[in-house]
Amino acid sequence: MNQHFTASVELADKVDSRSAGLGDVVRLTELKRRFGETAALDGVSLTVRKGEILGLIGRSGAGKSTLIRCLNGLERPDSGQVFIEGREISRLGERELQPLRRRIGMIFQHFNLLSAKTVEGNVALPLKIEGRPRAERRARAAELLQLVGLSDKAKAYPSSLSGGQKQRVGIARALAARPALLLSDEATSALDPETTRSILALLRDINRQLGLTILLITHEMEVIRSIADRVAVIDAGRIVEQGPVWSVFANPRSEVSRSLLGAIRPELPAEIQSRLAPAAGEETILRIDVAGEAARGPLLSDLAAAVPGPFRLMHGGIDHIQQQPVGTLFLSVPGADANHLAQVIAFLKARQARVEVLGHVAGFV
Amino acid sequence: MSPVLFELLLRSIWETILMTAASGLISLVFGLPLGLALVATDRGGIAQSLWVNRVLGAVINGFRSVPFIILLVALIPLTRLIVGTSIGTWAAIVPLSIAATPYYARIAEVSLREVDHGLIEAARAMGGNRWTIIREVLVPEALPGIVAGFTVTLVTLIGASAMAGAIGAGGLGDLAIRYGYQRFETSVMVAVVIVLIILVCGIQWAGDRLVARLDHRA
């Protein structure tokens, strides 16, 4: 009887770890959660692989926070499953969740540091909760404060720190219990751009040095661009798109991705935009999206050599995301010669570029 | 003021301090957990139980709505049961504590409720249980308010202890009524008022100092 029981438990473990996939820290299947009439999560399936930084982006109210809170059991899904390191947690009771939560660090938009504790006390709190002895807690806190560059602030209270310093303390605290996963809930949204960059660089370092898996949620593409390996786009409680960051940036398939990307990708200057007309005019404005190999080569000089006739670069640039060139160029092709225009487009398409005719402008400067 | 009256004044001061300190301590010991219970059992609290919350709230409101002078008399049987007598300083401590406990519970509740919910969530995310949340988050974060509220309670108790003279509790209020008012000993009345002012100011000053030291909020 006893043996049979052990065997079945082992079997269940095996099934769990296999279904979660080796190396997956998080796996969500068909997660649903409603608040009254609105579906915050409407069938979300998502995997976070070991060692990666996955960025989850969406507009406010898209279900990001609900999703991240399901991962450590702060929120319970109505249906669907949450696997953390192969273990299904969505049906666990509060008491069973507590040790599990210690495997997951979390950082918050508003830092959530305890004002009554010193920086050291805040960082050591997860260890205190685990019941570690004081000497160990202090040693670990000192180690972590060094990691985040705040060794001199150990005895200070959070109210005397700047926003960036507070978030560094938050990160140190989240790492204290050596978690397998770090959740970042809009961790840089309350910080200025420069501080945001330094916090993101710190997260990237931690990811590389410690091999820590990070799931970060944000509404800013810039955050995804600078540190994520993969991105998942959430809209109205559904994952509408996911993939390597550079590929989603180069070729966004969903309307939400395009609109979220709008802020950091080159756009046609408003002044030209306003003069665009659908009817053929003197100049045709093209939008050209290139990525990977297409963006690496001397595209424009090749175009000039292959298709005689003038064209003008209006706006654009090549960005490097995850060592992959991704770019958007706006060209203006003058003249009413439809054949010339067709040749230009054909050449660009042959080079794996995506070409879109935005419109025509008459009487250009 | 005659030496006899002066001695009486000293004894009254001691009685007032004794009543205030003893009933203050008791109200702290029982009122703080009650305040915690009110916050914890409320909607969205760490141990939500609306039924318990409503009963607790009703009992506290019940005690708080009875005028102290009536409570003083109504509780005489209970006082006799606990202290063995219904007369004297120790006897007054029973009704004083019973009046101050729900009062302090409400004050503590307000401070505890002001603790940012994000901090409780952070503690939960770290794997903390309810006890951790109370010990590491709720009480330490609300401590400045808890101490300030205790100061207010002590000052209120000084006033209330004067009324306890009605059951022969002694104390400064009793002295002021019997000697200062009924026997026209103006000097006694003036002395009592001065002593009370000093007591109240002293307690408030000490409380404020302590709050300033404890408060690390921005």
Half-sphere exposure for A136 (CA within 13 Å, toward CB): 11
> In degrees rounded to 5, what are phi and psi of residue B169?
-80, -15
Q: How far apart are CA B205 and CA B210, in angstroms?
A: 9
What residue of A is the nearest CA neighbor of B132? A129
Report which DSSP code applies to A186. Answer: S
| Tens digits of residue pLDDT in A113-169 | 999 999 999 999 999 999 999 999 999 999 999 999 999 999 999 999 999 999 999
Find residues 145-164 of chain A whose CB sits inside 8 Å of chain B: 157-159
Q: Which residues of B touch A72 (CB under 8 A)?
A: 125
Report which DSSP code applies to A99. Answer: H
User: Which domains are seen in chain B, by residue range?
Assistant: 3-214 (1.10.3720.10)
Contact state of B216 with A115 under an 8 Å Cβ cutoff: yes
Helix (DSSP H) and strand (DSSP E) numbers for chain B: 10, 0
Query: How far, in Å, are A44, A67, A88, A96 from residue A91 at the CA level?
Result: 17, 16, 7, 10
A100 close to B (CB below 8 A)? yes
Q: Which residues of B touch A167 (CB under 8 A)?
A: none
Could you tell me if A67 and A143 are in contact, meaning their C-beta atoms sit under 8 angstroms apart? no
What are the start-end ranges of the E strands in A126-245? Answer: 181-185, 213-218, 230-235, 238-244
Q: ipTM of this predicted complex?
A: 0.87
Q: Which residues of A touch B132 (CB under 8 A)?
A: 129
Q: How far apart are CA A233 and CA B33, in angstroms?
A: 46
Contact state of B118 with A112 under an 8 Å Cβ cutoff: yes
pLDDT value of residue B141: 96
pLDDT value of residue A162: 94
Q: Is the dihedral of CA B143, B146, B152, B154 positive or negative?
A: negative
Q: How far apart are CA A9 and CA A90, in angstroms?
A: 19
Which conformational region is residue A290 in: left (phi greater than 0), alpha (psi within -120 to 50 degrees), or beta?
beta
Residues 6+ apart with CB under 8 A from A165: A150, A153
Task: Pick B216's closest partner by Cβ from A104, A106, A159.
Answer: A159
Compute the count of residue pairs across chains A and B with CB atoms less than 8 Å apart: 69
Q: How far apart are CA B164 and CA B69, in angstroms?
A: 8
Q: Given pLDDT bands bounded at 50, 70 and 90, which one contains residue A179?
A: very high
Contact state of B121 with A157 under an 8 Å Cβ cutoff: no
Q: How far apart are CA A227 and CA A216, in angstroms?
A: 10
Q: Say whether pLDDT at A42 is over 70.
A: yes
Query: How far, in Å, are A8, A17, A88, A89, A328 from residue A11 at the CA level?
Result: 5, 10, 15, 18, 52
Residue listed under structure tokens 């160029």: A329
Which of B121, B102, B141, B143 is CA-nearest to residue B46?
B121
Task: Pick A157's closest partner by Cβ from B122, B141, B216.
Answer: B216
Helix (DSSP H) and strand (DSSP E) numbers for chain A: 14, 14
Could you tell me if B171 and B89 are in contact, meaning their C-beta atoms sit under 8 angstroms apart? yes
Contact state of B119 with A114 under an 8 Å Cβ cutoff: yes
Q: Which burial class, exposed, middle or buried, applies to A41 when counting CB atoms under 10 A from its CB (0-12, 13-18, 19+)?
A: buried
| Residue B102, H or E segment | helix B89-113
Cα dihedral A191, A195, A201, A203 in deg (nearest 10): -40
- pLDDT by residue for chain B (218 residues), tens only, comes to 788 889 999 999 999 999 999 999 999 999 999 999 999 999 989 999 999 999 999 999 999 999 998 988 899 999 999 988 888 889 999 999 999 999 999 999 999 999 999 999 999 999 999 999 999 999 999 999 999 999 999 999 998 988 887 678 888 888 888 888 888 888 989 999 999 999 999 999 999 999 999 999 86
CA-based radius of gyration for chain A: 25
Task: Pick A116's closest partner by Cβ from B122, B125, B143.
Answer: B143
Q: Say whether pLDDT at A12 is over 70.
A: no
Task: Pick B218's closest partner by Cβ from A99, A100, A159.
Answer: A159
Task: Pick B217's closest partner by Cβ from A106, A115, A129.
Answer: A115
Task: Pick A129's closest partner by Cβ from B132, B217, B218.
Answer: B132
pLDDT value of residue B120: 95
Long-range contacts formed by A222-225: CB under 8 A, 24+ apart = A222/A196, A222/A263, A222/A264, A223/A55, A223/A188, A223/A196, A224/A55, A224/A57, A225/A249, A225/A264, A225/A319, A225/A321
Q: How far apart are CA A309 and CA B116, in angstroms?
A: 66
Contact state of A116 with B122 under an 8 Å Cβ cutoff: no
Q: Given pLDDT bands bounded at 50, 70 and 90, which one contains residue A22?
A: low
Q: Say whether pLDDT at A15 is over 60.
A: no
Instruction: List, in sequence order, every residue forming a beta bridge with A183; answer none if it has no partner.
Output: A106, A215
| Tens digits of residue pLDDT in A62-86 | 889 899 999 999 999 999 999 999 8
Full 3-state SS string of B1-38: CCHHHHHHHHHHHHHHHHHHHHHHHHHHHHHHHHHHHH
Contact state of B126 with A129 under an 8 Å Cβ cutoff: yes
Mutate to test the interface with B, among A107, A112, A117 (most CBs of B within 10 A): A112
Q: How far apart are CA A233 and CA A62, in angstroms?
A: 9
Compute the mean pLDDT over every residue in chain A, rounded to the nearest whole number: 87
Q: Say whether pLDDT at A3 is over 70.
A: no
Q: Edge-to-edge, what's the strand order for the sheet holding A79-84?
A: A38-49, A24-35, A79-84, A87-88
Find residues 248-307 of chain A whose CB sits inside 8 Å of chain B: none
CA angle at residue A293 from A287 to A294, to 5 degrees?
25
Q: How far apart are CA B192 and CA B5, in angstroms?
A: 11
Which of A24, A65, A63 is CA-nearest to residue A46?
A24
- CA end-to-end distance (rounded Å), chain B: 51
| Residue A282, H or E segment | none
pLDDT value of residue A18: 39
Q: Say whether pLDDT at A279 is over 90.
A: no
Q: Say whether pLDDT at A296 is over 90.
A: no
Higher per-residue pLDDT: A353 or A171: A171
Q: Say whether pLDDT at A8 is over 60.
A: no
User: Which domains are seen in chain A, by residue range?
Assistant: 2-103+179-261 (3.40.50.300), 270-361 (3.30.70.260)
Q: Given pLDDT bands bounded at 50, 70 and 90, which one contains residue A7?
A: very low
Q: How far apart are CA A232 and CA B87, in angstroms?
A: 75
For A140-157, letters b (16+ CB in 10 Å) and e give bbeebbebbebeebbebb
B216 vs chain A: nearest CA distance in angstroms? 6
For B4-16, letters b (16+ CB in 10 Å) and e give ebeebbeebbebb
Q: Which residues of B touch A99 (CB under 8 A)?
A: 127
Q: Which residues of A touch B123 (CB under 8 A)?
A: 125, 129
Question: By a Cβ cutoff of 8 Å, what residues of chain B touch chain A?
Answer: 116, 118-119, 121-129, 132, 136-137, 140-141, 143, 214, 216-218
Q: Which residues of A touch B137 (CB under 8 A)?
A: 114
Could you tell me if A53 and A216 are in contact, meaning their C-beta atoms sit under 8 angstroms apart? yes
pTM: 0.85
Q: Other C-beta atoms within 10 Å of B54: how many?
A: 12
Which conformational region is residue A341 in: left (phi greater than 0), alpha (psi within -120 to 50 degrees), or beta?
alpha
